[in-house]
Amino acid sequence: MINFKYFHRWRNAFWLILFLTSCGSQKYIQDIPYNFSSDEFSNSSYGLKNNIDSQYSDQDDNLEKLTDEELRIKEKYSIIMEVMPKEVNNYKLYTYIDHWIGTPYKKQSLDEKIGVDCSYFVQSLYSDVYGETFQKTADGIFRSKSVQLFTGRAFLKEGDLLFFRYNKEHPISDVGIYLHNDRILACTEKGLNIYNFNDEYFQLRYVAAGRLKPKN
């Protein structure tokens, strides 16, 4: 005897399979609106990789188009002076300084191996970096007609000259250069280096500052 209950179930299943394998069903399946295929996902803005790339791949970390040497100088001296890297942008100045930093002190000398006198160094630096010719003595630089003298520390900016008095016989005994954040380039018994202008050694000897007058 035929079990009509199972017969009807089998018949319904048969017609469902027949429908799914028909041409009409293929068209129906093709027309299903898939939101994403694997290719579309990887190429779309919804893909994680593409989303990250779109945010960061076009970012230029070297907008100034600096050379490797300039980037090294910027990083090195921003750390030494404890300033933001953007504050270090006179690469000619700091490249010149970097070449001589750590040279021992020697009076009336400008030699990397033998030693350097700071007034000789400042005269050479200003000629090379700023195109200004000075005498090779601190007093001669102090008396230069191209230098505007002032005393207020609040007005100091990069490249300003600093004049010091070390003994009574020479009211202007030495010269240094102001950089940033109270860091100065000067000579001591330890040699030519970058020091803190707030150190008592310099404060007790500071006389005045000087800046190049604008050229007409």
pTM for this model (two decimals)? 0.71
Please, which residues have CB within 8 angstroms of residue 82's CB and are 6 or more apart in sequence?
181, 183
Pick the closest to residue 176 from 193, 152, 198, 151 (CA basis). 193
Q: Which two tokens stand for residue 78?
A: 């921003």
Question: Contact, 37 vs 46, CB < 8 A?
Answer: no
131: exposed, middle or buried (Cβ count in 10 Å: 0-12, 13-18, 19+): exposed
- Dump pLDDT digits (tens) for 19-77: 445 544 444 444 444 444 445 444 544 444 455 454 544 555 677 788 999 999 999 99
Neighbours of 210 (CB within 10 A): 19
Terminal-residue alpha carbon distance, the chain? 121
Q: Which two tokens stand for residue 48?
A: 């994680």
- DSSP assignment string, 121-171: HHHHHIIIII-----SSHHHHHT-TTEEEE--GGG--TT-EEEE--BTTBS
Query: According to CATH, what is the number of the domain 90-212?
Result: 3.90.1720.10
Is pLDDT at 98 greater than 80 in this prediction?
Answer: yes
Look at the block and give the residue holding tokens 């008396």: 143
The angle subtended at Cα 35 by Cα 34 and Cα 36, nearest 5°, is 95
Residues of the chain with CATH 3.90.1720.10: 90-212
- Four-residue CA torsion sign, 106, 111, 112, 118: positive
Tell me how far apart the alpha carbons of residues 115 and 103 are, in angstroms, rounded to a whole number: 6
Neighbours of 145 (CB within 10 A): 6
Is pLDDT at 148 greater than 70 in this prediction?
Answer: yes
Output helix, strand, coil percentages for the chain, rounded to the nearest 5. Answer: 45, 20, 40
- Dump pLDDT digits (tens) for 164-192: 998 888 899 999 999 999 999 999 999 99
Neighbours of 156 (CB within 10 A): 18
- Dump pLDDT digits (tens) for 86-95: 999 999 999 9
Determine the average pLDDT of the residues in 206-216. Answer: 92
